[in-house]
């Protein structure tokens, strides 16, 4: 239906998450209608990020260079490590301005059904960090999903054996701020009860 270059662009755009065929088609036509400068700037930005952004050698967060800006910051507490699944999780936690430690990005969550085993994640590197440095606490901040919970339990069990003196904590879960109790599901409400604290 379309000229081969345009069809190729639509096909490539439809590979993006959340972009279906019709959205990819609209984006492709938008790029065609726009100026050459805008289209080439987008292409250059994509090429630049692919060439210059890699993983931090310490925590496996996104970095331009050998270490990310968080690991390079001397004001961050190196004895406090927050374990997350993806680099996007680091950004979410940083927005809270509540955490002043460092991170460890696993690169996903355990999922035997999908063929993701401990060897496929940066779990061994986390254990290595614990053995080579002085770590006071590890906060496991994996997603509250089946795979995230399985990953958290796997890491916590292994850490209790390897480093019994290290405090292992998990992010609290429960009711979101501004939510009504009548709309909460049983699992969320149950977690809110089990994680209750004194006022």
Q: What is the pTM of this model?
A: 0.83
Q: Is 104 inside a domain boundary?
A: yes
Calpha distance 58→148 (Å, rounded): 22
- Which structural domain, as residue segments, surrounds residue 148? 62-170
> What are the phi and psi torsion angles at 180 (to 5°)?
-95, 140
CB 129 within 8 A of CB 135: yes
Calpha distance 108→46 (Å, rounded): 23
CATH number of the domain encompassing residue 153: 3.40.1360.10
Q: What is the pLDDT of residue 103?
A: 97
What is the maximum span of the chain, computed from C-alpha positions, in angstroms?
Answer: 66
pLDDT tens readout for residues 32-85: 999 999 999 999 999 999 999 999 999 999 999 999 999 999 999 999 999 999
Q: Within a 10 A sphere around the Cβ of 158, how many other Cβ atoms? A: 16
Q: Is 189 inside a domain boundary?
A: no
Total domains, the chain: 1
Q: Is 163 inside a domain boundary?
A: yes
Q: Is 165 inside a domain boundary?
A: yes
Is residue 8's pLDDT more than 80? yes
Q: pLDDT-based confidence at 121, cuts 50/70/90?
A: very high
Q: Is 73 inside a domain boundary?
A: yes
Is residue 1's pLDDT more than 80? no
pLDDT tens readout for residues 103-112: 999 999 999 8
Q: What is the pLDDT of residue 189?
A: 81
Calpha distance 124→51 (Å, rounded): 27
Q: What is the pLDDT of residue 176?
A: 77
């Amino acid at each position: 239906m379309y000229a081969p270059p345009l069809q190729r662009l639509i096909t490539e755009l439809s590979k993006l998450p959340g972009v279906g065929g019709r959205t990819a088609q609209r984006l492709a036509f938008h790029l065609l209608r726009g100026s050459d400068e805008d289209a080439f700037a987008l292409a250059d930005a994509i090429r630049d990020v692919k060439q210059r952004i890699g993983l931090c050698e310490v925590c496996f967060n996104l970095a331009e260079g050998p270490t990310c800006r968080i690991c390079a910051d001397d004001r961050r507490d190196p004895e406090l490590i927050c374990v997350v699944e993806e680099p996007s999780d680091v950004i979410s936690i940083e927005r809270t301005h509540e955490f002043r430690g460092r991170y460890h990005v696993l690169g996903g969550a355990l999922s035997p059904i999908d063929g993701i085993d401990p060897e496929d994640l940066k779990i061994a590197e986390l254990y290595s960090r614990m053995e080579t440095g002085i770590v006071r606490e590890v906060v496991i901040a994996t997603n509250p999903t089946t795979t995230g919970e399985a990953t958290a339990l796997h890491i916590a069990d292994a850490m209790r054996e390897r480093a019994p003196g290290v405090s292992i904590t998990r992010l609290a879960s429960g009711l979101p701020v501004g939510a009504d109790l009548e709309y909460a599901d049983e699992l969320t409400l149950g977690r809110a009860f089990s994680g209750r604290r004194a006022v």
